[in-house]
Amino acid sequence: MTKIKILLTIACSSLLISCYAQLPTDSTAEKMLVYQLGNGGWPKQLEDKSVVNYGASLTPELLAKIKATKDLHATFDNKATSREVVYLVKAYKKTQNKAYLTAAEKGLDYILAAQYANGGWPQYYPDQSSYRSEITYNDDAMINVLDILQDIATKKNDFEVVNPEYIKKAEKAVAKGIDCILKTQVKQKGELTIWAAQYDKDSMLPAKARAFEPASLATGESAGIVRFLMGIKNPSADVKKSVAAAVKWFDTYKISGFRFVREKGRTASLIADNTSMAWARFYDLEKNVPIFGDRDNSIKSKLEELSAERRNGYAWYGNWGQKIIEKEYPKWLAINGK
């Protein structure tokens, strides 16, 4: 009898292994499962500050570094967490490998848990140190998260595969996020302008981040916010007003006929280009003039005043608002009206 039980156990185990082996897999998704932290989020860097690289082989040395990485490293910075959730959902739809969907939904739980009561998201969660706790539009951190939640709420971009229980949660989180966006749009003498890159989580006032990132109007992030707002179906009067004001600001402060060049071996600068528009990355919160931060916390009024390392090491100008002004806003306006 014992011998029969052993044989049956071996047979069942072999069958399970065989079934698992036949499950389609995705090599990148498999690595994402390994990198996922205990709280459901993903890091952009490991404990030793090495950057997460899904192209790297999972050597014993790398696996040890991943294992040593604490939950405090979970972040939305540099597309971390949002990138993985999007990829895993698509990988699940392609392979039907349940492990990918489970990991993606664990990531969604992390996203929902990280949202503040005021609707914003921090750069890191649960790490509250320094500027990591600030409401963060910088590098589209909050917009990337809202895009995912909007896709869940509208069952788009493969997110129809997630548990339907997430739909109501996503709708609520998106509504709070939009409210946060509208409340944080900077006003000057009662007039709406654009947005800062990050805000104090309690006062909801513009805040600084790294030494060279002062509290300021941030054009790159604001362009992403405008696009998100323009993607809302049947926008409210407040959303329409917000979009119109931001586009007006972009149009008013555009630098026509120039583009920014930052190439190796060449000093970063604006050069003439009659097909392009440019905006500085940061503008003074009250005067709407370009400002440039350096590593010593100083703020300069001209690009040329920066240290060589900072001048050539950051995107101080860009064409962030050009497509919005020329194509996207007119198209949106034709559909939604003023």
CA dist 46 and 60 (Å) reads 15
227 is catalytic: no
What is the pairing mode between strands 292-293 and 191-192? unpaired
The answer to whether 210 touches 131, Cβ cutoff 8 Å, is yes
78 is catalytic: yes
Structure tokens at 154: 């509208």
Structure tokens at 162: 């997630």
Q: Is 288 helix (H, G, I), strand (E, B) or coil?
A: coil
Say which of 78, 118, 157, 288 is annotated catalytic. 78
Say which of 53, 97, 138, 210 is annotated catalytic. 210
The answer to whether 159 touches 151, Cβ cutoff 8 Å, is yes
Q: Is 297 helix (H, G, I), strand (E, B) or coil?
A: coil
What letters, b where the CB count within 10 A reaches 16 and e where it falls short, cover 128-158?
eeebbbbbbbbbbbbbbbbbbbbbbbbeeeb
| Token pair 């583009």 in the structure block, residue | 259
Q: Is the dihedral of CA 233, 193, 252, 318 positive or negative?
A: negative
What is the pairing mode between strands 269-280 and 255-261? antiparallel
Mind telling me the catalytic residues? 78, 210
